[in-house]
Structure 1
Amino acid sequence: MSVPLVIFDLDGVLIDSAEANVQAFRYGMEQVGIMVTDRDSILDLVGLPAVTMLERLGCPVAEVDSVFKDFVTPYYIQNLPTLAKAYPGARQVLEQLLESGFRIGACTSGDRVTQKAALETIGLWDLIEFMQTPDDSEFGKPDTRYLQELLDRFGAYGDVHHVEDS
């Protein structure tokens, strides 16, 4: 009998990373002398490419790449594990899926160390059977080969359900 799978994205689906995003982008902008005090001005941009977010927040175009690489990314990676929260009901949903016979995986664009630490902090790591990160692959989202590599790790499986926010 083949067992169905549910594959979850992490940030924005199981992990509420809003505070980590706000703080990381604020920190990056501060490095170029721009104070961003309105949380919504950052949150309204989440989902866009980071470079676009920085430009729309007023970062000088010539400094966007270095601000992202040198400040935003390291801040986010360092602080996500402590700033992350599980979305309300996330653990209960995963537990119900497991009780109903589903296997659970995660497919993320975040690095393994940061995402695992965040999942451990919010109490969901023990419910995830396999996780696919850029550390595991030469591919990345949205390339379907990236997801297929995760599916291959499960071996035999039935229907696949994929939960994403974008």
Structure 2
Amino acid sequence: MTPPQAKTWPPRGRTPVVRVRGRSRRRISIAALTCYRPGHRSRLIYRPRRDDGNRDGRKSFSWRDYRDLLTAAHQQLGGPIVLIWDNLNVHKATDLRKRAAARDWPTIYHLPPYAPDLNPVEGIWSLLRRGWLSNVAFSTPEHLIQRIRHGLRHIQYRSHLIDGRLAETGLIIRPA
């Protein structure tokens, strides 16, 4: 709920002031998959999660949330999935690894530690922060979620933006 800051061009001599009601300890987490397949449109699949304080004291995604996201992605994409994950501790959770090993459709690789420049989803977050979330004072968590969804939907329907995040990483897709 703490508003991100961005630069703006105000009239000379008038400093812009954005009033914020107060900091909030509420948290909104987002998990996303950028999906690439040669000869097809790139896709973005995401899930926001609001911390409601009712889930085992956990404020972010659990391994079960990632399991559900992967199952939904598998159903949407209709085929095997090759996951290239960063080294988030939940991505390496034992229960998630067991679930993935029990299925024949996911193949999981991990990025090297401290390599956000190789993760296309980091580029998606950058677009979102610099565009739809900058210079906005969010009044409620619902307002924040609405702006997040609006920005991600905008990115989702413009596959060239998703392709650009892959190009930034220097990784390429080779046809099978």
TM, length-normalised to structure 1: 0.30
User: Rg bigger for which structure?
Assistant: 2
Give the TM-score normalised by the residue count of structure 2.
Answer: 0.29
Higher relative contact order (CA 8 A, sep 6+): 1
Higher relative helix content: 1
